Amino acid sequence: MATFELELVSPEKLLLSRPVEMVIIPAAEGDMGVLPGHVPMIVTLRGGVISVRENGQETERMFVRGGFAEVGPTRVTVLADTAVPVANLSRAEAERLIETAERDYQAAAANDTPEKREAAMNHLLAMRAMKDAAQAA
């Protein structure tokens, strides 16, 4: 089957760089499956799981907190804020993060601008997605 080059980088390291058949990206406006020959796009990510398929099977699952993805003619580059293999996620950690995120959101909801409130909400949603991913793993 046809493949394309996938690069997954976080600020701290290059996590993945190899040809794959398909990748599912948690874009801000909904999950997006990318196959070879996809139309060039630049999208933002929400918190969620990136899933990579090779040889007809799902080979990698990475949780990302947010970031950007560039779908080029021959290459897909994902710039993740943080990326963790789903297997390494811990549910307890996620719950703790949800708690702080909820508190931040309450604080933001009370006295910040709508943009800040939205940022806090997105963060909270990302943390919830992390918990779900941890639970599923």
* Residue 16 binds other proteins, judged by CB under 8 A: no
Q: CA 3, CA 56: separation in Å to the nearest integer? A: 11
* Residue 68 binds other proteins, judged by CB under 8 A: yes
The candidate with the shortest Cα–Cα distance to 26, out of 126, 135, 136, is: 126
* Residue 9 binds other proteins, judged by CB under 8 A: yes
* Residue 107 binds other proteins, judged by CB under 8 A: no
Least distance from C-beta 41 to other proteins, angstroms? 5
CB atoms within 10 A of CB 12: 8
Looking at the Cβ atoms of 3 and 77, the one nearer to other proteins is 77
Residue of 77, 95, 102, 128 that binds other proteins (CB under 8 A): 77
Q: CA 136, CA 110: separation in Å to the nearest integer? A: 33
Least distance from C-beta 37 to other proteins, angstroms? 12
Tokens 């080029």 belong to 72
Number of residues that bind other proteins (CB under 8 A): 25
> Rounded to the nearest 10 degrees, how much is the dihedral formed by the CA atoms of 9, 75, 3, 66?
40
Q: CA 72, CA 116: separation in Å to the nearest integer? A: 31
Looking at the Cβ atoms of 46 and 131, the one nearer to other proteins is 46
Using CB under 8 A, list all residues that contact other proteins: 7, 9-14, 27-29, 39-44, 67-68, 70, 72-73, 77, 79, 81-82
